[in-house]
A and B are shown apart, each in its own frame.
Chain A
Amino acid sequence: MVENAVGAVLVIGSGIGGIQASLDLVEQGFKVALVEKNPALGGAMAQLDKTFPTNDCSMCILAPKMVEVARDPNIDLYTFCEVTEITGEAGNFEVSVLKKARYIDEEKCVACGNCAKQCPIRVPHEYNKDLSHRAASYIPFPQAVPSTYLIDRENCLYMSRGICRICEKVCNAKAIDFEQKDEIIKVNVGSIIIALGAETFDASTLYQYRYGQFPNIITSLEFERILSASGPFGGHVVRPSDETIPNKILWVSCVGSRNSRINHNYCSTICCTYSIKEALIAKEHNPELECYFAYIDIRTMGKGFEEYYVSAKDFGINFINSQVSLEENPLNNNIIAVHEDFATGKLVQEEFELVVLSVGLQPSKSSINLLNKFGIKLNQYQFCLTENFKPLETSRAGVYVCGTLSGPKDIPETVAEASGAAGKAASLIHSKRYDLITEREFPSEKDIEGQDPRIGVFICHCGINIGSIVNVPEVNEYTKTLPNVIYVEENLYTCSQDTQEKIKEVIKAHDLNRVVVASCTPRTHEPLFQNTIREAGLNPHLFELANIREHCSWVHMSEPEKATEKAKEIVAMSVHKVSLSEPLHEAFVDVVRSGLVIGGGIAGMTAALELANQDYSVYLIEKGSELGGLVRNLYYTVEGDNPQKYLKNLIEKVKNSEKITTLLNTKIEEISGFVGNFKIKVNSQGEMNDLEAGALIVATGGSEYKPTEYLYGQNERILTQHELEQQISKNKIETKTVVMIQCVGSRNEDRRYCSKICCTSAIKNALKLKEINPKITIYILYRDIRTYGLLEDYYREARKKGVIFIKYEAENPPEVIQEVNQLAVKVNDIAIQRIISLKPDLLVLSVAFIPTENKDLSQMLKVPLDQNGFFLEAHVKLRPLDFATDGIFLCGTAQWPKPIRESIAQAMGAATRAIRILSAKQIKTDAVVATVDHDLCIGCGACELICPFHAPRVERTESGRKSIIIASACKGCGTCGASCPQKAISMQRFTDVQIIKQLDTISEKILEWEA
């Protein structure tokens, strides 16, 4: 630890990786400087329409995180900024940040959009991949954070020609500032996380794809924008040349990937699955659509991806195993593709109305320059160099990396790495935890006990957003007639800084005790106004926000009278509701400052060590008699690392750590309690112990499937990959011909999933055998080779070294025959459509990876398993390490099969997620939680069954069995309240009385509608 360490972290890049790392850092008690070169947060994910394999709306799951970042007082946002210099050393870096002029004052801009509307300039819009236009004064996209406009100096008429300045004249907020200059800001931090991501491959650099030559050949990211409702065609799937609906689309895979000629030999990992996603979503838009996907290997090895692929086939997506050549039909701008028919080997010519190039990932020029400048080493493909066992560390001390900057990967891997990197960055400076964190101070709260409601209502014009449709003065007049309303005011922008001051004054002057703002969405604006009234001494829950923009002026744009009527009703409902609001307060719960890790494999040990490194004590529970887990069977990695050496070292560290209590031969008997306060009963060979922990980490791993297929167990010359590896390590292999069969026990009826790691295992062992004896003959019988990411290099190497790959079809698997003294394998090679007979003296089965038997544990933890028996995380995209139940985390192969590298990254991430809780001064519970009236409760347990977060617990009390809400686990969703047959559960701020009062307000209208 550096003596003068600084309790702050610099995060460069604000894609999903940078966002996750920032949020994890502040929650651990560190200040964050988040630097983004673009004007808004979000990175690549902000441009995606949906995410696979759940087809969640990308923006809908990302935007709340962006808003969270913007709201956090301990994250300093530097958007439209670039890091220009880093000096100092790990623990204490001095960073120079170039803040580019936006020419619009961020403090004053209220994002009304007037400037953009009046700006005469229309240039291609980057966000929509140039498929639409934007003005020179613009906001990058509607949900942008920060929600402020900027002026693009390249295209602004004033900057380039000295004329115009229209924006300045029409900006009511007086936010335009042409005098702004670029400036350099110095930031002092203890550690650095680089999360610059990757860009999509520029398809125009490869002539054969004809991108840029024909309008109807587009990239997958362009198609993503076309699919999006916020995209250039409002979500109508049309092709660029003539904006007509295409009825036949071809996706072409591996554009810029797996191409050694351009030094892009790596696989971009995500393209197969995103292409399937795009095809499925496009087909949802247009059921008539015919979708085709030309591929080399389908690589759907992530969680749920293989099932997604199979469902796509069932859905009618056609898969063509061929490369294609492309040409345009000038008569209709269709694209003629020539591909090979795998069944006949003949060339087929087919016409498509649109072709989508599934472009891969590459590090951007600017990232490469930046890393070079900062003295950080790159790998052969210019991705940030990392080591297998140190996946999050760069070559420079104190600088960590996450996401696609260190190689292609999907969102959940990026998120896990981001959490892990946040832990590493924190670990370095953990003595400075809470050093730089500021907490807001407020005046004491006014006591409103016994007072009649005195309500102030502020109605927003939102520039012209509301005011041009809704008759605001009319709403104002109407509001004055409502009961308990003491004061009504109209504002041009209720959210502007000066209005906040005004609201505070009005509260004091009129002795208001409740406030309603009629403006936009609570999602973005409620915390602002709650903060304002809190500063004026009012409890923040004596507030209601009436959304008269989204719900009135926007959706009823063409019927202003109805919009006005609706606005009145919404305001009335809010007034009636708020008059029944009571002050609510958060509760605070103390935390047990130790963690408990279940499973002593590489993931469990790594997680335990990360906790220990930050001075938290840990129980490491292992049911077996020694530490090490699955890695004990691994002797080398495909990259050439030595896992045994690493493992030995790791076990040593665990054993030597004063903070870690390792319990071997130990089973968990019972788990109770909740986040911050778990109680765990363990059984160590008959000796029972009661342990306490603030957070739990599940790392129970998995194992190799023991096959029943292919005569396994009936012949000693038939081995699994692990068994082979063991024999190789003992120098026991003397063989001339080896056959390996892939997908044994995977991707079939029993186990529909792909086990992700077996292709690499097979290639690893094949290369090892070739290294020992270059003359050995090896056949690998496969369905798709799934050496994703940088592993593709080894696939190429294996082919180069003469390993023979034979592709077979699932419907027609190889046959193993035991002949006298000889094994025979028959396989239908679909490339040449012939049955080949092989006589190996060793048959190796690449068997499935299966999870540990987790049922009992999952029930004790009250967390779910997926259909394959792996643990099911809270959200497959953005919460890969969490469970829906707070305080319990997940890592390693218990979640999904994965190589060591990914297990380590996840373990580090899971540890970070746990430290957020262990390091909290106290756990603050939300004020808006469910409460139970014990006079009414009959202890039926309906609430306990239905709550996804396990907040209600029926417990024995003096007055019988009653439901008790664990406030720290409650998310305030109200599900329990709705399901309670006794109406004993009440949702604070959404009480039945309040809701009924709201309904009464419009009941006459409802009766009218019903009539």
Chain B
Amino acid sequence: MGIKIFDDLRREVVESNLCNLCGACLAVCSANEMNALCLEENIPQYIKEFDDVQKCLECGLCYLVCGQISDLDPKIDALFAPAPPIGSYRLLTCAKTTDPKIQKRAQDGGVVTSVLKYLLDKNLIDGAVVNIPTSNWESSPKIVTSVEELLQSTGTRYSAVPAVQELGNFQTLNKESPRLAFVGCPCQVKTVRKMQELQMRPGIFVKYVIGLFCMENFDYQKLMKGKFEKDLKIDLNNIKKLNIKKNFFITLKDNKQIEIPLKELSDLVRNNCHFCDDFTNFYADISVGGVGAPAGYSTVILRTQIGDKIFYDMKRAKEIEEVNSPPADLKKIRANVFSQISRLGQIKYDRGKKKKLEINKSG
């Protein structure tokens, strides 16, 4: 069997409209310095002016780490035991940050920002890959190295960005072995774990993986520009917050809320998301999302020893706090969270499986 290379990846994933737009292929490309690949109009491709294989070294790394290619899945599954509907975990709870500055800007409980701030403050990492808003609810991934930069990343923007590609820019930290944290959707986290399985840079430098819950993600142009701006005549500058809780909620700056049934948006969802069976980010150290948690809190799933240690160290240091209730109530809250995310997890799992079956049948 020959090595499968970008040509194969292009055929099997990109041209089949399955690309996750995570940018992993670009992050690992061994011909990076020679500019073999680029991301144009959100599509990974050979650099146009050399649209042949001459710059590609045909190493096959991009193929192997791609989230849509399952060659390495058994290896990482053996480590993380991603049992549906919500994967393996050590603790499921609800928590929020104690930092009022983060609370003010946070989507839910501010846990993600709080964890990253803690890691940066304690110098446990040299940088974290987060998603920084640019304009009009568009955003781009960035390795942040300070708390100031980090605080710009709070809140959720519902459009896919190539976060893993940014991981490939670790050289900007000028360190031979940088220590990184990565925040991303399930499909992105999976590629990081694949790189780690291969002991491959840049994934090997990621010490902490924070996974976001993700039901599905949208194409920025279609959702924000097409649907909201053009169809619904919403001034994007006037949006205060976007949120998915059963339906899509748009909160405007005057606190007026617009609710859009998710079904209405289903055409704007990226195609690859339909094939994904992971809602709660099975491969993360800590998974965080809004579903199920009381207002002002985030749902937190601790999955690994690393995740555990950070959570408890932060709790001890009073950087975050769990829901302040008597133990009996906390138990109830946790049970409620469990049932809610399990239900959504199961829905996504079944949907993904079904889609995969369909595609397998059609060949």
Contact = CB atoms under 8 A, between A and B. Distances in A.
A166 B57 contact: yes
B238 interface: no
Contacts, number: 65
A121 interface: yes
Given A166-B30, A242-B124, A330-B313, A123 B177 contact: no
B328 interface: no
A325 B177 CA distance: 32
A155 to B, nearest CB: 6
Interface stretch (B102-110, B147-155, B200-208, B239-247): B200-208
Contacts of B205: 122
A133 B177 contact: yes
B198 interface: yes
A997 interface: no
B187 to A, nearest CB: 21
Contact of A123 (B28, B60, B179, B199): B199
If over half of B's interface residues share one DSSP class (helix, strand or loop), that class is named, otherwise mixed; here it is loop
Most B CB atoms within 10 A — which of A122, A133, A242, A244? A122
Chain B interface bracket (under 10, 10 to 19, 20 to 34, 35 or more): 20 to 34
Chain A interface bracket (under 10, 10 to 19, 20 to 34, 35 or more): 20 to 34
Nearest to B176: A132
B59 interface: yes
A974 interface: no
A117 to B, nearest CB: 9
B103 to A, nearest CB: 23
Most B CB atoms within 10 A — which of A157, A163, A165? A163
Given A133-B177, A163-B3, A331-B316, A118 B30 contact: yes
A162 B63 CA distance: 13
Interface in A87-136: 118, 120-123, 132-133
Contacts of B30: 118, 120, 164, 166
A163 B59 contact: yes
Given A118-B30, A120-B200, A163-B64, A232 B316 contact: no
A232 B175 CA distance: 10
Contacts of B200: 120-122, 157
Nearest to A132: B177
B317 interface: yes
Interface string B70-96: 000000000000000000000000000
A165 B176 contact: no
Given A120-B30, A163-B64, A331-B316, A169 B198 contact: no
B233 interface: no
B61 interface: yes
B122 interface: yes
Interface in B37-74: 57-61, 64
A441 interface: no
B37 to A, nearest CB: 14
B169 interface: no
Contacts of A935: none
Interface string B207-218: 000000000000
Given A118-B30, A155-B199, A164 B177 contact: no
A133 B176 contact: yes
Given A163-B3, A163-B64, A166-B30, A243 B57 contact: no
B123 interface: yes
B198 A157 contact: yes
Contacts of B317: 331
Contact of A162 (B3, B61, B179): B3
Contacts of A241: 124
Top 8 closest A-B pairs, CB basis?
A163-B60, A242-B123, A166-B30, A122-B204, A120-B200, A164-B59, A133-B177, A166-B59
Given A121-B201, A162-B3, A164-B3, 6 more contacts: A121-B199, A121-B200, A123-B199, A163-B3, A163-B64, A330-B316
14 contacts: A121-B200, A122-B201, A123-B199, A132-B176, A163-B64, A164-B30, A164-B60, A166-B30, A169-B57, A169-B59, A243-B179, A244-B123, A330-B312, A330-B313
Interface of B: 1, 3, 28, 30, 57-61, 64, 122-124, 176-177, 179, 198-201, 204-205, 312-313, 316-317
